[in-house]
Amino acid sequence: MIDVKLIRENPDFVRENISRRNDPEKLRILDEFIEADKKWRLMQTELNNLRKKRNQLSLEVARRKKMGEDVTQLLAEAERLQNKIKEIEDITEEYRRRSINILMRIPNLLHESVPYGRDEN
């Protein structure tokens, strides 16, 4: 299986190498992976931001409880945030699985000594 880091850091190199196979379907699979991986990383970033917000909210609840203040609204907000986190976790996991499944269909890179193909064979 091809290294994800290589695809992320050098997509043009990978695309050029795969194009040497003279199989447009393989290039389509690569593009599909790049798009799915991009969505997964965006969702992962959003998930991390929501978790950070939840942690900050938890600290604020603890601080206010210690001071004897009412935390009802904060607890309701924390519950809404937790539900949103669960929703995003499910979506993120689906994108992760999809990315892995697509990645497994991408062919390995050809050695530089392998000639360009004239056709699919």
Q: Which domain holds residue 39?
A: 4-103
Of 60, 47, 56, 15, the C-alpha closest to 34 is: 15
Number of domains in the chain: 1
Reported as a pLDDT band with limits 50, 70 and 90, residue 59 is very high
Q: What's residue 119's pLDDT?
A: 61
Query: Both ends of the chain: CA-CA distance in Å?
Result: 21
Specify the CATH number for the domain of residue 77: 1.10.287.40
CB 10 within 8 A of CB 105: no
Range 54-76 average pLDDT? 94
User: Would 66 be classed as within a structural domain?
Assistant: yes
pLDDT at 120 > cutoff 60: no
User: Would 111 be classed as within a structural domain?
Assistant: no
User: Would 112 be classed as within a structural domain?
Assistant: no
Amino acid residing at 91: I
Tokens at 61, concatenated = 């609840």
User: Would 56 be classed as within a structural domain?
Assistant: yes
Range 14-34 average pLDDT? 94
| Distance (Å, whole) CA 70 – CA 52 | 22
Q: What's residue 22's pLDDT?
A: 87
